[in-house]
Amino acid sequence: MKTLRQSLIDYEIALLKAIADCRAVSLNVSGQTEAVNQLADALLYPVNTAIILGDLSGAEEEALQFLLENGGQIEVPRFTRRYGVIRSMGPARLERERPWQNPANPAEGLWYRGLIFKAFQVAAQGGREMVYIPDDLLPLLTPAPAPAVQSPKTLQVALSPTPAFTLSGQGRLRENFFSLLVFLQTTPIRLQNKTELPAKARQALTECLLPPFLSTFTPAAELELLLHLGQRADLLTIAHGRLRPERDAIRNWLQADPAQQVQLLQNTWRADPTWNDLWQVPGLVPQPTGWENSPLLARSKILGYLEQIDAPAGEWLSLDNFVAAIKRLNPDFQRPDGDYQSWYIQDADGNSLMGFEHWDKVDGALIRFLLTHILPLLGAVDLGCPAETGHPTAFCLTPLGEAFLLERPFTPTRPKKPVFLRVENDFYVRVPAQASLYDRFQLARFAELDRRENKRVVYHISRTSISRAAKNGVTADQITAFLTRATNNQIPLKVVETLRTWGARFATVKFEQATLLRLKDEQLMAELRQHPALSPLLGEVLNPTAILIPTKNIPKVRRLLVELGYLE
């Protein structure tokens, strides 16, 4: 930023005299340049600065400290929102109102003392007006660093009583993404316009998901996030106009530890600049008028404040208090320039939400959205509600959530013994919750999910499911070999024999449409079979005077028979 002299040089003589009067400096010059030099020398005198600092009010001290904590410069909207607007006054109004004797707010108090100035700064986002402290004045206002080691920053958030009802997303991300993979593996989907799912396929995919745990986050919205994360994590790919699992990446994910499976998707969301959380908040309707926000900035700030919470692990915390703490400490967490006028956002009724007065409906709503929708889905927080159908009022970090915030691996206790599937005589397969997703994925290729129970899921093997698998190239021998391994050789003999029977019978019979051509005598058969144009179009010979004509060839055969005189 500018030096003090560079900051004063554009001031009219009336404003220079106002600052001089406020700082008890006698200007003994008449010209503007001489006044600037004399005033700058006086304001940079350390004793003069120390005296004026001791004369500041509490609010003015806070405003100055806020500037110092931000490196001596900050965007005008952020500063004036907290500490007031510096009124623009010409020479006559200055002389008449003498605002330095009774400043309207802390900002004016610092302004007329010559401690802060304003200037335009060119940035990547365009020009922006800044409040700043001149470079050569800044050292006189910055206290010497304290020798003591500073403790890490913490965020004080009020604890909440244990809620009457708990909403947990534990296991949801893993289960829903697995269901998505199974559907895409067993049901090829051809995309529209290269990237869009057909409506019928989208509906079928949403029906595969677990029931929504929060009414405001619809299955369609959850599906959108899952599909997005899958592609960003290179687990899903678009090839030849179809959306399908990426074979090698999916195998690695299915065989990974459950916590690693979740953490891959968690970290994909954390680092993804293309998923804009603000544009997903229910009730907000951002308008694409050219303005941009940084999803990564907002996301990292909110996660950073969660990490700073000064509370024991596992404690329930007030959701309202957490939002209020961020509003108090850093309301501009997603708006580095403090601009609340250029983000064109409406509510569901079409009302404009521009301006800081709508902070709770926009910025506060984004914080709530992450805490009550995204982070529970990612298994990072549980939610607490006062009533079974009420809105969440509290949240609690899960062990996976703590590992996610600290960016460290989560290592749960592994089962000591292998986990096997259990196949019953009724062709139902019980799958324990701890079973390998890779085994479940193989099972889902030839069995249908029947139901989810506490700590297990149940699949059903049927003639239809085996036929579907056979169409996808899965043989009966492969199925029995897999079940033998996955059940520790405990598959019932009845099931083995039935699977082999179904497999042996598959595609051994088929229907074909054809037309029967009857001939008057056997000699005609030889004539027709030897004709170079007719012969390739004829089908199977049933007897010396009857031959099948494939349906697709009937028009050509009829035309040739007429041309050759065999048919009227």
pLDDT tens-place string over residues 457-499: 999 999 888 888 888 888 888 999 999 999 999 999 999 999 8
pLDDT band at 501 (very low <50, low <70, confident <90, very high): confident
For 314, counting Cβ atoms within 10 Å of its Cβ (0-12 exposed, 13-18 middle, 19+ buried), the class is exposed
pLDDT at 146 over 60: no
β-strand partners of 244: 237
Rounded to the nearest integer, the mean pLDDT of the chain is 89
Q: Which helix (H) or strand (E) holds 518?
A: strand 514-518
* Max intra-chain CA distance, the chain: 134
Block residue for tokens 């028009």: 555
**Sheet order of strands, 236-239 included:** 189-190, 242-245, 236-239
Q: Report the pLDDT value the prediction gives residue 474, as an integer from 0 to 100.
A: 87
pLDDT at 151 over 50: no
State if pTM tops 0.85. no
pLDDT tens-place string over residues 351-393: 999 999 999 999 999 999 999 999 999 999 999 998 877 789 9
Q: Report the pLDDT value the prediction gives residue 528, as an integer from 0 to 100.
A: 87
CA distance linking residue 369 with residue 372, whole number of Å: 5
DSSP string, 168-194: E-TTHHHHHHHHHHHHHHHS-EEPBTT
DSSP string, 215-253: TTS-HHHHHHHHHHHHHHTTSEEEETTEEEE-HHHHHHH
pLDDT band at 18 (very low <50, low <70, confident <90, very high): very high
Question: CA of 85: how far to CAs of 81, 131, 175, 200, 280, in Å?
Answer: 8, 11, 53, 56, 34
Question: CA of 346: how far to CAs of 259, 299, 488, 535, in Å?
Answer: 39, 21, 59, 72
pLDDT band at 319 (very low <50, low <70, confident <90, very high): very high
pLDDT band at 414 (very low <50, low <70, confident <90, very high): low
What one-letter code names the amino acid at 307? E
Q: Report the pLDDT value the prediction gives residue 148, as an integer from 0 to 100.
A: 41
Domains of the chain with bracketed CATH: 4-141 (no CATH), 155-410 (no CATH), 422-505 (no CATH), 514-563 (3.30.70)
What one-letter code names the amino acid at 116? I
CA distance linking residue 413 with residue 110, whole number of Å: 59
pLDDT band at 415 (very low <50, low <70, confident <90, very high): low
Q: Report the pLDDT value the prediction gives residue 509, as an integer from 0 to 100.
A: 65
Contact between 104 and 57 (Cβ < 8 Å): no
Count the residues in the chain. Answer: 568
Q: Report the pLDDT value the prediction gives residue 507, as an integer from 0 to 100.
A: 57
The 3-class secondary structure across 449-475, one letter per residue, is EEEEECCEEEEECCHHHHHHHHHCCCC
pLDDT average, residue stretch 540-564: 89
β-strand partners of 518: 546
- Three-state DSSP at 25 gives coil
